[in-house]
Amino acid sequence: MEKLQNKFKHKLPIQIRFKDIDRMGHVNNANFLTYIELARVKYFEEVVRMDKKWSPEVGIILARIEIDYKAPVFLHDNISVYTRCSRIGTKSITLEWQVVRQQQEHEETVAEGIAVLVCYDYKHEKTIPVPEEHRKAIEQFENA
């Protein structure tokens, strides 16, 4: 089995909060969307350097998300989200992600899926091509 750090170069540790836990004692499935969002935003800030470029006029919107749950997560688990770009289209970017739990000497995948993001002009309410600087930054990071 290929190690995740060989497939994914971006990793974000996640702090599980008590409020994330449901009556069954595990992280409620809806909280995974927040964890994935945190990782996705951090990916764009660190890889595309969008930390100072978020704009109310032009940006990236989530068009689709898929989640496959593999195992429950509990309050004291040590989890992280791996993120990588698997496809850059004309107007969209597909990110693959995996939520993992640290298990002594290895990581266990507890959820995985994809997110499709679309570049969007909010002012004119229409999709736009992926900016060339974004494309180059992602390709450089993923192929390095």
CATH code of residue 82? 3.10.129.10
Mean pLDDT across the chain: 91
State residue 1's pLDDT score: 43
- What is the 3 state secondary structure string of the chain? CCCHHHHCCEEEEECCCHHHECCCCEECCCHHHHHHHHHHHHHHHHHCCHHHCCCCCEEEEEEEEEEEECCCCECCCCEEEEEEEEEECCCEEEEEEEEEEEECCEEEEEEEEEEEEEEEECCCCEECCCCHHHHHHHHHHHHC
Q: Output the pTM of the full model.
A: 0.90
Q: Which domain holds residue 73?
A: 4-143
Render pLDDT for 111-132 as a digit per residue (tens, 0 to 9). Answer: 999 999 999 998 899 999 999 9
**For the chain, what is the domain count?**
1
Encode pLDDT of 66-76 as tens digits: 999 999 999 99
Examine the pLDDT at 105 and tell me if it is beyond 90: no
Residue 51 has pLDDT above 80, yes or no: no
